[in-house]
Amino acid sequence: MRLLVHTCCGPCACYPFSWLAEQGHDSTAFFFNPNIHPYQEFERRAQGVAALADQRGMPVIWAKQYDLDDFLRQVVFREEQRCRICFHIRLLRTAQVARRGKFDAFTTTLLVSPRQKHDWLRSAGEQAAAATGVPFFYRDFRPHYRETTAQSLALGLYRQSYCGCIYSERDRYAPREKSRAYD
C-alpha cells in the first residue's frame, strides 16, 4: 500500500517507518506541523525529519511554511479543545495531500506517542478520511515507543520535551500555580 505518513518529528518516525517498510508498505513522510512554537523548534524538528530521511532514504513531502497564525486562529478561545483541533488540522491536510498524490491511505507518526490521545487521533483521522475519500490507516504504535526512542538516540536525532504547541510549551516549562482562595 502507498501510504502518506504525517510526520511530526524524526524521533517519532523511527519505529513506524521501520515497521511499515517491514510490512511492505511504500511510505512517504509528510511534514506539516503549523502548531509548533517557537520557530526555532519548528526548524529543529524539520531538520530531524530531514536527517532521518537522509539516513534511511525516506521520501518526504515538505509543507514547511510556518503557519502558526492559522493554528492559533483555530485554537484561541477553544484552548480546552486544542489537541483535537490540532489533530484535525494536521490529519485533514495530510488526507488532502494523500488524495492529490493518489496515495492508498494516510496515517501519522503521532500514533507512537503514549502521550497522545489515540481516540482523538483516530477520530480526527476518520473525519479526514470521510471528508477526502482517502482511508485512514490506524495502527497503535505505542507498545513500541521505547524502540522508537532507542532508535532516535542511536541516530543522534534531536529529541524534544513537549508536543510542540505554545500551550504545551507553557505547561512543560512554566511553574504551575496552586489554586488559591481569594477574600
> What is the pLDDT at residue 64?
77
In a domain, 179, yes or no: no
Residue 40 confidence class, pLDDT cut points 50, 70, 90: very high
> CATH number, domain at 91?
3.40.50.620
Query: Is residue 152 a contact partner of residue 115, using CB atoms and an 8 Å limit?
Result: no
In a domain, 171, yes or no: no
pLDDT, greater one: 102 or 152: 102
* Interacting residues of 32 by C-beta distance below 8 A, sequence separation 6+: 6, 63, 90, 93, 94, 97
Look at residue 150 and give its three-state secondary structure: helix
In a domain, 174, yes or no: no
In a domain, 176, yes or no: no
In a domain, 172, yes or no: no
In a domain, 43, yes or no: yes
Average pLDDT over residues 77-88: 93
pTM for this predicted structure: 0.90
In a domain, 49, yes or no: yes
Residue 182 confidence class, pLDDT cut points 50, 70, 90: very low
In a domain, 120, yes or no: yes
* Mean pLDDT lowest among 25-39, 95-109, 116-130, 168-182: 168-182
Number of domains in the chain: 1
Instruction: Give the structural domain span for 87.
Output: 2-165
